[in-house]
Amino acid sequence: MSAREKLNDDLILGKHTYRSINDKVNNVVLNQNSHTIPWAVCFMVGFMLLQLMGLVILWLLYRGIGIWGVNNPSMWGWDIINFVWWIGIGHAGTLISAILLLLKQSWRNSINRFAEAMTLFAVACAGLFPLLHTGRPYMAYWMFPYPNVLAMTPNFRSPLLWDVFAISTYATVSAVFWFLGLIPDVASLRDRSKNPIFRTIFGALAMGWRGASSHWQRYESAYIMLAGLSTPLVLSVHSIVSFDFAVSNLPGWHVTLFPPYFVAGAVYAGFAMVLTLAIPVRAWYNMKDFITMRHIDWMAKVMLATGLIVFYGYLCEGFFSWYSGNVFERDMMRFRMFGPYGWAYWMLILCNGVVPQFLWFPKIRTNLVALFVICQFVSLGMWLERFVIITVSLTRDFLPSSWGYFTPTIYDIGMFVGTVGQFTFLMFGFLRVLPMINNFEMKELLYRMIGRGHGHGHAAHAPEPALAGHAAGDGEEH
């Protein structure tokens, strides 16, 4: 038996027992009255925007991708920007669920479930863009090596094909990981639910899980292996996404810096999205005992650290374009800063270089309103980063005769807003039908916190003094 770790900070606040944690997590799903007006507003707005996306896609399939702002020098527009943006957002979920698990960071337990859900939904949004950009999404299976009479095989030397495999593997493995984590929790819902329809659905999903110790042993073994597999996967996925650019010869894209800097940017944007969701949701569902200010503080610190890496990447890009002595590289940097999209570059520096510096201050990290606003800047900044990288290089390549300008159309905007709607719709739908917090891992965490010999039922923890502000009295009836 492994020794119980000493936790420096209490990751569960208030007085909790196994039963109270269990009830609190399960009741969000089982008690349909726990969903209030904010839930309904988010869900419905998401649903409406999803309908908008449906209309845009319908028109796109009818007219072709010419309805977007993409043009001859700028073959890639908002579609690829949004694709990279969404994929990046998804990466925080895998970081929390896999990398923090391998590093034995107990604070992941209360946020991993919805961060993983966020990964899945973000990848679902991301996947739409390259699929629709092909123009003929119903022929997407041509990208896979299947036996056919067309005498056609995919080009395995193309980063775009690597992307197909990376993204589809990432989506699949994330789904498997998520589903595996859900099995014991769904079994708990199955045993608690009184509604026969719920019982049947949860019973089918739980696959007869009975919590046997030999099952748990294999389960934990499989879970840690999946974490070990997801860790190199998540790093490879965004590296391969960056190869889409880095393997080409275009100034501003042909940079060996891209893979690490894309991965850091992905984690940075992803944590901003986790916080954007966690801050309101923990208040609406009164989950402040489980997602404590300590969690929020640490997430903000991760955001600051990755933000600094990203900013370092910008500095490196600037330095190397000058140091290379290559006239195309130098001019590309000049166009980025002072060209037609200069406003975007300086907005980007503001969002990703200046605004995150506020996170150095503990008072700002624990101020939920300020943190929420900073997260929006980060999301915007990461979107602008892709905009700057993609649009400037495409519209300012080697020959001035092939220069151009990119302007989005309402269909670009509709598609982007639509995926935001899809994401919101799926996320809030998930909150309603599945446990948003990993039930069994929270109970296990409580077990490690109360320690041997203290008996059960006592998890009296003083709230963190420096980070109080809420907490006391949040405990449930137990």
Partner 1 sequence: MSQPIYALIAEFDDPDNLLEAAIKVYAEGYRKVEAYSPFPVHGVAEALGNDCSKTRWTCFLAGVAGGLGGLAIEAYCAAIDYPMNIGGRPLISWPQMIPVAYELTILCASFGAALGMLGFNGLPRPHHPIFNAKNFERASQDRFFIGVEATDPKFDIEATDAFLRSLGADDVSVVEE
Binding site for partner 1 (CB under 8 A): 1-2, 17-19, 22, 145, 151-154, 156-157, 159, 161-162, 165-166, 169, 172-173, 176-177, 179-180, 184, 187-188, 190-192, 203-204, 207-222, 225-226, 229-230, 232-233, 236, 240, 243, 440-441, 443-444, 447, 452-453, 455-456
Q: How far is the CB of 229 from partner 1 (least distance, A)?
A: 5
What is the Cα–Cα distance from 393 to 403, expressed in whole angstroms?
10
Cα 391 from Cα 405, distance rounded (Å): 8
174 or 306: CB nearest partner 1: 174
- 265's CB contacts (< 8 A; 6+ apart) are 88, 306, 310, 313, 382, 385
Q: Pick the closest to residue 26 from 177, 182, 174 (CA basis).
A: 182
Nearer to partner 1, 1 or 399 (CB): 1
CB of 123 to partner 1, least distance (A): 14
Question: At closest approach, how far in Å is the CB of 213 from partner 1?
Answer: 4
Least separation in angstroms between residue 428's CB and partner 1 is: 26
Report the distance separating Cα 251 and Cα 333, nearest Å.
9
Length of the chain: 478
Please state the closest distance from residue 251 (CB atom) to partner 1, in A.
Answer: 23
Cα distances from 181 to residues 69, 90, 109, 187, in angstroms, run 41, 17, 11, 11
Q: Which residues contact 20 (CB under 8 A, 6 or more apart)?
A: 475, 476, 477, 478
Nearer to partner 1, 161 or 309 (CB): 161
CB of 228 to partner 1, least distance (A): 9
In 3D space, the residue among 68, 83, 111, 54 whose CA is nearest the CA of residue 276 turns out to be 111
For residue 100, the minimal CB distance to partner 1 (Å) is 18
Please name which of 92, 32, 83 lies closest in space to residue 306, comparing C-alpha atoms.
Answer: 92
Give min distance, CB of 419 to partner 1, in A. Answer: 24
Comparing CB distances to partner 1, the nearer of 37 and 477 is 477
First-to-last alpha carbon distance for the chain, in angstroms, is: 29
Least distance between partner 1 and beta carbon 10 (Å): 19
Contact (Cβ atoms closer than 8 angstroms) between residue 117 and residue 432:
no
Beta strands, E only, 223-316: none
Q: Please choose, from the candidates 114, 115, 49, the residue with its C-alpha nearest in 3D space to the C-alpha of residue 424.
A: 49
Nearest to 180 by CA among 209, 213, 155: 209
Q: Which is nearer to partner 1, 70 or 164 (CB)?
A: 164
Write b or e for each residue in 38-70: b if 16 or more Cβ atoms lie within 10 A of its Cβ, otherwise e: ebeebbeebbebbebbeebbeebeeeebebbbb
DSSP-derived secondary structure letter, 462: P
Of the candidates 100, 439, 118, the one whose C-alpha atom is nearest the C-alpha of residue 290 is 439
For partner 1, give the closer residue by CB, 63 or 456: 456
Q: What is the token pair recorded at 200?
A: 């049947």
In the bound complex, what is the minimum distance in angstroms from residue 152's beta carbon to partner 1?
Answer: 7
* Angle CA 16–22–27, to nearest 5: 115
**Beta carbons within 8 Å of 325's beta carbon, 6+ residues apart:** none
Q: Which residues contact 356 (CB under 8 A, 6 or more apart)?
A: 303, 304, 307, 308, 311, 374, 377, 378
Residue carrying structure tokens 């037609």: 340
In the bound complex, what is the minimum distance in angstroms from residue 105's beta carbon to partner 1?
17
Q: Please identify, using beta-carbon distances, which residue of 153 and 402 lies nearer to partner 1.
A: 153
